[in-house]
Amino acid sequence: MLACPALFISAPASGQGKTTITAALARHHRRMGRDVRVFKTGPDFLDPMILARASGAPVMSLDLWMVGERACRALLAQAAREADLILIEGVMGLFDGTPSSADLAATFNVPVAAVISAKAMAQTFGAVAFGLARFRPEVPFHGVFANRVGSARHAQMLEESLPRGMNWLGYLAGTDAIELPDRHLGLLQAAEIDDLDERLDRAADALAATALAQLPPAVAFDDDANEPPLPRSLEGMQIAIARDAAFSFIYPANVQLLEALGARVSYFSPLANEPVPDDASAVYLPGGYPELHAGALAANARSAASIRAHAGANRTIVAECGGMLYLLDSVTDTHGVTTPMLGLLPGNAAMQTRFTALGMQQIDGAHGTLTGHTFHYSRVSTPLVPIGHATRAQSDAPGEAVYRQGSIVATYMHGYWPSNPAFAAALFHGRAL
């Protein structure tokens, strides 16, 4: 068994400030000289960018369905071996989803600190805290923290509302100086927030004197036997990944898997008009926000020509969500403005003003099941006939379509490749499904 202080940051709902508080905690302990590992519950690309900046280390996903309990256990054990503190940020509310943050916290016995936004709330704060703490007694509960508090007197009222014996972890005042800006799909990307480090430092300063900032109790994590080494099934391949503000939805675990399978990974930026490296065996176009940068992408002829040449040479392209949109004939924004894209897949993507798909999905193929998720604000119209469909996690209902055009495989689903390394390797060899 491995012992490491650990804390699970959850809330009664989304929008309570979990990421701000988790990032502030990570920054505080990092400034204290501690090695901090932060995890994010569920599928997410945006929060981990903030948390990685705060902690100084990559942020991995934990999810009992997408990642799997065994893999989650191994990730936590590795963190316990290396770090002085483990922080896990939950997703949505503590009991939301199947599996939920509560399921994850209970499985690994990580105590929960509930962050509750106290804006426009007084004594009801205590009732919410009581419900979170007692709804499922098997979920370890550390205490409650108040966010967006109006005054010291307000904080006193909140603390006095708590049932006897509940741990008050302190509070943070509501201020725009530390709030993290957002837009559709979630928070702004870390690189887009010019004063992010200043915001994190201010939040860490404000947390420093609270009980929440104290080192939490140590948690025992199983030190599982070492996994057998993965086959070097991508040995000799160079995989070029598009990475910039338009293409940034990349799981660190996916990149680590490619390297563990033997691939050499490089990066290029279509936004900076960088070409695909000449010796790239395959290209990965991840999701992101191509719709926000459509004009620049359309104008960057050098990068576009290199991707077209790569496809023309029958070399593999794997595209997910925003990466798939970039391959289409065009993208139309919510104002009706249509911008030409690469034209490697026939069809148009039309942006919507609300989610068109959200949730866990999986793709079943010749190499088994690849888990992942989908979340997007666009709809694609294409004459292409799908070669298959994902299915939803909680039902057999059809999920996202999977398209193949020549050497291109494209889908809205974001795959979590470590869930099936053989599937991932086949994908980049152009023979998945």
- Would you please indicate which residues are annotated as catalytic (active-site) residues? 321
| One-letter amino acid for residue 95 of the chain | F
Q: What contacts 399, CB < 8 A, 6 or more positions away?
A: 361, 362, 374, 389, 390, 391, 392, 413
Q: Burial code of 59-86, b = ≥16 C-beta within 10 A, e = fewer?
A: bbbbbbbbbbbebbbbbbbbbbeebebb
End-to-end, the C-alpha distance of the chain in Å comes to 40
The whole-angstrom separation of Cα 139 and Cα 126 is 18
The pairing of strands 60-62 and 264-268 is unpaired
Whether the CB-CB separation of 399 and 415 falls below 8 Å is answered with no
Helix (H) or strand (E) holding 319: strand 316-320
Name the residue among 80, 79, 26, 15 with its Cα closest to residue 51: 26
User: What residues pair up with 361 in beta bridges, in sequence order?
Assistant: 372, 392
Helix (H) or strand (E) holding 54: helix 46-55
Whether the CB-CB separation of 168 and 157 falls below 8 Å is answered with no
Name the residue among 379, 374, 386 with its Cα closest to residue 414: 374
